[in-house]
Amino acid sequence: MTEAHHPSLDTGLIESLTDLERAREIAAGCVRCPLKETRTLVVFGEGNPGASLMLVGEGPGEEEDARGRPFVGRAGQLLDSALAEAGIPRDAVWVTNTVRCRPTKIEAGRVANRPPRVGEIRACAVWMETELRLVAPRVVVCLGAVAAKALIGKEFRLTQERGQLFPGPAGTEAVATLHPSYIIRQRDSESRARAREMLVEDLRLAIRRAGA
């Protein structure tokens, strides 16, 4: 099938979309990258379509893939509680990922998550740009290094540059923080609490800048 024959492959058509729900419908059949082979559902962004704050993670995990919604698994629960502590209702923001289909690998005979590849992020960028254009947030929060490298710059170093404001995509300001999954993976409760505090602190900065 060529680009001209499949609407989800036609970049021009995607770029001309003016409605988030129409974009979601078209993205549901997207075959722009190899992740189409292994996904169950395409996970388009969701939340407040007029949000001043957009949160961008890495990619859907198992639960997100099954339900077609971003950040609904354990990492999503941690994110929701951090948002609440920062005084931000989850439904006030827009939540999405650098790729909209679950990247997987086989590990010890089982299907496991893996970070998205650069080519996959590049293929999915047209959807990222569409969400940015139609939601038009003031501030983007990159959850983890993968999103930060994709949206702030490929030289971005999370350990050194977390919690600082940078020029973001589409005229936004961007701040990068820890990915909720990274916080869950911390070895002990003290490290987890410290990492979670950083996430809350960065979310507070983002919401102040977004003026929401």
Determine the distance from the C-alpha atom of residue 26 to the mean position of all C-alpha atoms in its chain, rounded to a whole number: 18
Task: Give the three-state DSSP class for 143.
Answer: strand
Dist CA 143 CA 179 (whole Å): 5
Enumerate residues 6+ apart whose C-beta is below 8 A from 2: 9
Binding-site member from 42, 83, 152, 175 for ligand SF4 (CB under 6 A): 42
- Taking the least distance from each CB to ligand SF4, the nearer of 9 and 206 is 9
The rounded distance, in Å, linking the Cα atoms of 108 and 147 is 27
Interface residue with ligand SF4 among 95, 99, 135, 183 (CB under 6 A) is 99
32 binds ligand SF4 (CB under 6 A): yes
CA dihedral 18, 91, 87, 85 (to 10 degrees): -130
24 binds ligand SF4 (CB under 6 A): no
Burial of residue 101 (CB within 10 Å: 0-12, 13-18, 19+) is: buried
| Nearer to ligand SF4 (CB atom), residue 127 or residue 182 | 127
Interface stretch with ligand SF4, choices 65-73, 98-106, 138-146, 163-171 (CB under 6 A): 98-106
Give the shortest CB-70-to-ligand SF4 separation in angstroms: 12
- Pairing of β 94-97 and β 53-57: parallel
Q: Is 33 in the site for ligand SF4 (CB under 6 A)?
A: yes
The correct pick among 101, 143, 146, 158 for binding ligand SF4 (CB under 6 A) is 101
Q: Smaller CB distance to ligand SF4: residue 8 or 177?
A: 8
Q: Are 30 and 100 a contacting pair, CB within 8 Å?
A: yes
Residue choice 14, 20, 27, 75 for contact with ligand SF4 (CB under 6 A): 27
192 binds ligand SF4 (CB under 6 A): no
List binders of ligand SF4 among 115-154 (CB under 6 A): 120, 123-124, 127
Structure tokens at 33: 């990258």
Q: Which residues bind ligand SF4 (CB under 6 A)?
A: 27, 30-33, 35-36, 42, 99-101, 120, 123-124, 127
